[in-house]
Amino acid sequence: MAVKNRANRLERIKYPKIILFVLIVLIAFIFYREAIVYEPLHNLLIKLSYLGAFIAGLFFTYGLTTPLAIAVFLVLGQENNILLTAIIGGFGAFLSDYLIFKFLRKYFSKEIIKLEHEKIVRYFEKNLPRTVKKYLVPIIAGFIIASPLPDELGVALLATSMHVTTRTLFVFSLIFNTIGILIILEIGKLI
């Protein structure tokens, strides 16, 4: 009975995912700002160095774990070669993007095909010039992948385009994630 009451209380929370995200952002902020309290953890991250960058890159792509990955990159940016850290983090982020891409292609392909027949998609397909369509989706996806926004959105845009290959995703993801991580590392150097 007690378990059922707790479940009912949790169901009454109006925005549980947003609340969880805000809590993660707060934890990441405290983790980064309170170096004295978390000094052993900071020291561990510095010792992990490039392995830590790869692991942070894996978590950089997922919406809920992005704030924690950013906090790790801010710490790593203070002690390591930022270009090498960004590239290694970019490889970790690509690996996560690749998993998202394959998952979407495998389990959502039928829905993606159905989506092409929706009015709004047909409207844009019909009214946008071909060159705009060709470059608009990759530009939007690239911006999303480079930013701290969840990569799931950018990768989903790429996955809906059936002409995007794994090789294209690799280049796209690596470049844009590396740029995004490099900007974060530069900020870490300035703080």
Tell me what percent of the residues of the chain surpass a pLDDT of 70: 79
> How do residues 56-73 score in pLDDT, each as one tens digit?
899 888 877 888 888 888
Average pLDDT, the chain: 78
Q: Is the pLDDT of residue 7 over 60?
A: no
End-to-end CA distance of the chain: 50
pLDDT of residue 101: 85
> How do residues 128-158 score in pLDDT, each as one tens digit?
787 777 777 788 888 888 887 777 778 887 7
pLDDT of residue 178: 94
Report, as an integer, the average pLDDT of 71-87.
86
How many helices and strands, by DSSP H and E, does the chain display? Answer: 10, 0
Three-state DSSP state, 100: helix
Can you tell me the distance from the alpha carbon of 61 to that of 147, in angstroms, rounded to the nearest whole number?
A: 10
Can you tell me the distance from the alpha carbon of 94 to that of 86, in angstroms, rounded to the nearest whole number?
A: 12
If you write DSSP's letter for every residue of 112-151 in order, what string do you get?
HHHHTTSHHHHHHHHHS-HHHHHHHHHHHHHHHHHSSS-H
Ramachandran category for residue 118: left, alpha or beta (phi over 0 → left; psi -120 to 50 → alpha): beta
Q: Is the pLDDT of residue 8 over 90?
A: no
Can you tell me the distance from the alpha carbon of 40 to that of 34, in angstroms, rounded to the nearest whole number?
A: 11
Give, as one character, the DSSP assignment of residue 34: -
Tell me what percent of the residues of the chain surpass a pLDDT of 90: 14
Three-state DSSP state, 74: helix
Please give the angle made by the CA atoms of 41, 46 and 49, to the nearest 5 degrees.
Answer: 125
Take residue 105 and report the two structure tokens written for it. Answer: 């292609």
pTM equals 0.73
pLDDT of residue 123: 82
Three-state DSSP state, 165: coil
